[in-house]
C-alpha cells in the first residue's frame, strides 16, 4: 500500500511539472524572485486567467507558495528542496536525445553564472566549490558539506559570518549537482550567503531578465584572485 501511495504521489508531482506552461513558471521561479501571476503569465506564454489556474495547481501540490502584500499576490518556490529537484531535472534533460538548437548569448551566460533559487550555479559556482575543497576549507561527503576550521577562518575573512547560520533552520552546507557542469556547487545556507556576499562586492549582478548573473570586471579579478578560477571561465563581463 505504501509503494502505491508513493507511486501515485510521484506521478502527481511529475504531472504538475510535466506541463510546458507550468514548467516555464517553475523555471522562472528558480531565479529566486517572487513574481506575480501577470509576470508569470508572460513567462509561460499564456493568458493571466490560464496562469492563475496553473498557479493554483502548483500551490495545491506544494511546489509553489503564495504571499499576499496588500492587493498583490506574489508566488515563489515552496522550498529549496523543490529548487534542487528542478535543477536535477534540468540535468536529466541535458542527458536526453540530442536536439539541434543554436546556442545564443543567454545560454552561454547561464552556463557561466546563474541563480539556483537562492544560491549560485554554473561554472563559477563549481569553480568556487572546487577551490574550497582543494584548499581544505570544505569537505564534501555525499549531499553534505563540512566547513573546516580553515574554512571558517577563510569565510570570516571573505565576509561570511557562520554565526548567522544558527538563526536559520536550513542545513549549513549542502552539495547541489550542477546541470550545466555536471559537478557539485554549494547549496544550503552557505551557498546563499556566498551569493549574497558576491553581490555585495559587486562581483555579480542580476541580468535584466531571467536567471543569468552578469559577471562584472570587479568579479573577473576577484574570482581569479580569491578562488583561482580558470580565466577561460571568466570571459563574459559587463
Q: Which three cell numbers stand for residue 77?
A: 518556490
pLDDT, tens only, 159-182: 999 999 988 888 899 998 888 888
Q: What element of type H or E holds 176?
A: strand 174-177
The CA distance from 126 to 131, in Å, is: 9
CATH number of the domain at 2-78, out of 3.40.50.970, 3.30.70.20, 1.10.10.10, 3.40.50.300?
1.10.10.10
Mean pLDDT of 114-121: 90
pLDDT, tens only, 14-59: 889 989 999 999 988 987 788 999 999 998 999 999 999 999 999 9
149 and 121 in contact (C-beta within 8 Å)?
A: no
According to CATH, where is 1.10.10.10 located in the chain? 2-78
Phi, psi of 160, rounded to the nearest 5 degrees: -105, 115
What confidence score (pLDDT) does residue 102 get? Answer: 44
pLDDT, tens only, 180-206: 888 999 999 999 999 999 999 999 998
Q: How many helices (H) and strands (E) does the chain have?
A: 10, 10
- For the chain, give the percent of residues with pLDDT over 90: 55
- pTM, full prediction: 0.73
Amino acid at each position: 500500500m505504501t509503494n502505491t501511495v508513493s507511486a501515485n504521489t510521484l506521478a502527481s508531482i511529475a504531472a504538475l511539472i510535466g506541463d510546458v506552461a507550468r514548467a516555464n513558471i517553475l523555471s522562472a521561479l528558480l531565479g529566486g524572485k517572487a513574481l506575480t501571476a501577470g509576470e508569470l503569465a508572460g513567462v509561460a506564454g499564456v493568458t493571466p486567467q490560464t496562469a492563475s489556474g496553473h498557479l493554483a495547481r502548483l500551490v495545491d501540490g506544494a511546489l509553489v507558495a503564495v504571499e499576499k502584500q496588500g492587493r498583490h499576490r506574489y508566488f515563489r518556490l515552496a522550498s529549496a528542496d523543490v529548487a534542487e529537484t528542478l535543477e536535477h531535472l534540468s540535468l536529466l534533460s541535458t542527458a536526453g536525445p540530442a536536439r539541434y538548437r543554436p546556442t545564443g548569448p543567454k545560454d552561454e551566460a547561464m552556463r557561466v553564472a546563474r541563480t539556483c533559487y537562492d544560491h549560485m550555479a554554473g561554472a563559477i559556482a563549481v569553480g568556487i566549490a572546487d577551490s574550497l575543497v582543494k584548499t581544505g576549507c570544505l569537505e564534501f561527503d555525499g549531499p553534505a558539506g563540512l566547513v573546516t576550521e580553515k574554512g571558517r577562518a577563510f569565510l570570516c575573512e571573505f565576509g561570511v559570518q557562520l554565526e548567522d547560520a544558527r538563526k536559520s533552520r536550513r542545513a549549513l552546507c549542502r552539495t547541489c549537482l550542477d546541470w550545466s557542469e555536471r559537478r557539485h556547487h554549494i547549496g544550503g545556507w552557505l551557498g546563499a550567503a556566498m551569493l549574497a556576499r558576491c553581490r555585495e562586492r559587486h562581483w555579480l549582478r542580476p541580468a535584466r531578465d531571467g536567471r543569468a548573473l552578469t559577471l562584472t570586471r570587479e568579479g573577473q579579478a576577484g574570482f581569479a584572485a580569491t578562488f583561482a578560477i580558470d580565466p577561460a571561465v571568466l570571459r563574459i563581463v559587463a
